[in-house]
A and B are shown apart, each in its own frame.
Chain A
Amino acid sequence: QVRLEESGPGLVRPSETLSLTCSVSGGSFTNYYWSWIRQPPGKGLEWIGYVYHDGGAIYNPSLKSRVTISVDTSRNQFSLNLRSMTAADTAIFYCVRVFHEFDAPAGATNWYYDLWGRGTLVSVSS
């Protein structure tokens, strides 16, 4: 059974960089896309970006200038770096496996999140 587990600091100082790692166990790491999604306390979900096993990444345009998502296939891990953190970045961060397929005849992208980590709360405070 595939499991995803987030690890990283629970507290980050304003202006610093958040670094989180997601460890994937119990299944294939290659041939999937891997995403980070966040949820501020009491609010909705926000997609941060995804990385493919070859290292290619796409980011939410609203966060693109501050985000890097990288992958380490030798360890079955992917990581999130979010720079210049502010209080508005306080959130639960989830690592997620993504099903991604392009339906060429329909010109449509089939995209859904089929496995989620438990999430880790990151607070930004001095």
Chain B
Amino acid sequence: QSILTQPPSVSAAPGQRVTISCSGTSSNIGQHYVSWYVQIPGTAPKLLIYDNNKRPSEIPERFSASKSGTSATLAITGLQTGDEADYYCAAWDSRLNGLFGTGTKVIVL
């Protein structure tokens, strides 16, 4: 089964910036839109980014995303302790499959 590859974890001190990469192929990220989700342990995931780079109204501007070719990137600026969570990218795959990334744990030092 195809997957989208993310780093297992990223870390930074409060106030700093972290980025999370999401690597796919031409049949998923290369062709279709990317979304991102945040999951605080013990809770359901929540939509963070849609349409490659748009934020739902309740998501702070500190969260941004971009897509280039077959990869996508999520950036968090002004890191806060409350941002500690698991982050997942997702995209449709042309082989009729809804793919998720492997997930990245953000650690605030």
Contact = CB atoms under 8 A, between A and B. Distances in A.
A109 B97 CA distance: 11
A94 B97 CA distance: 17
Nearest to A92: B44
A45 B97 contact: no
B95 A109 contact: no
Interface string A46-63: 110010000000101110
A111 interface: yes
B46 to A, nearest CB: 7
Size bracket of the B interface: 20 to 34
B35 A112 contact: yes
Given A45-B103, A112-B35, 18 more contacts: A35-B98, A44-B101, A46-B100, A47-B100, A50-B98, A61-B1, A61-B97, A94-B44, A108-B31, A108-B33, A109-B31, A110-B32, A110-B51, A111-B33, A112-B47, A113-B45, A114-B50, A118-B43
A61 B95 contact: yes
